Structure 1
């Protein structure tokens, strides 16, 4: 083997190693970029803290916006549709004073750091709102499907009854 052959083989090996390093670095950067805009929706029930509001709250604790793709609502174990005004009216039909509502349909965006009540009463009192509290803690299940700006992840957030 002459020196030209050794040089050519060495140059090819170095080029292949360089290509591999470049590929892995690009892949790591792409994964990092996806993680840097990943939303994380959490749902929780809140009962009368400082502002005396109570209800079902959704929080985006992630780093990027959550784009809602779908929602599923169950009342007493039966699916009643998406989280929209129709489902709200079905869920609160037996209540004399209806709670406030925030509907999130397909295409809705929940910004990073945003906190919203999906269903709440402004001034919660145990004696007046026991039916409402039973609804949000035992009877109602809202499942939100969402994705990041990149799309296609099909994340989901739900709060099951106690």
Structure 2
């Protein structure tokens, strides 16, 4: 084996090593880019926050916008449909008072750092509105499925268990 063969073999090994390093850096860079715009939706039940309001809120605590892909609403274990205007009307028509509602339809966006009430009462009173707290803590489950701008992750969020 001559010096030319050794040099050619070494050059091939170096080239393959460089190709592998380049590939892994590109893969890691793409993974980092995806993580840097990952949304992180959180739901929480709130009572008497900054005054007298109460309700079910959602916040995007992540770094990127959340794209809602679908939602499922369950009342007492029975599926009512997606969290949209029609399902809200069906739910709200049976309640003793009318809370405010904000829909999360498929295709809607939630920007980073933003929060909104999905269902809320501005003037919540323990004595008068105990039915509302029971509704959002035990009877009603809203599950929202979402993804980042890259798509395909199929994240979901539901209210925390009590």
Confirm or deny a common fold (TM above 0.5).
yes
TM-score, normalising length: structure 2: 0.96
1:39-86 superposed Cα distances (whole Å, 9 cap, x missing partner): 011111000122321100001111100000000000010001000122
Structure 1 unaligned residues grouped into runs of 5+:
none
- State the superposition RMSD in angstroms: 1.1
After the TM superposition, list the runs of 4 or more consecutive aligned residues in structure 1 that deviate by more than 6 angstroms: none
1:23 lines up with 2:52 in the alignment = no
Aligned residues: 162
Q: How far off its partner does 1:160 sit?
A: 5.4
Partner in structure 2 of residue 41 of structure 1: 41
Partner in structure 1 of residue 54 of structure 2: 54
Separation of aligned partners in 2, 1:89 and 1:48: 25
1:75-132 superposed Cα distances (whole Å, 9 cap, x missing partner): 0100010001222122222323200011010000011111110000112111121111
Cα pair 1:48 1:123 within 8 Å, conserved: no
Partner in structure 2 of residue 13 of structure 1: 13
TM-score, normalising length: structure 1: 0.96
Separation of aligned partners in 2, 1:69 and 1:94: 27
Partner in structure 1 of residue 104 of structure 2: 104
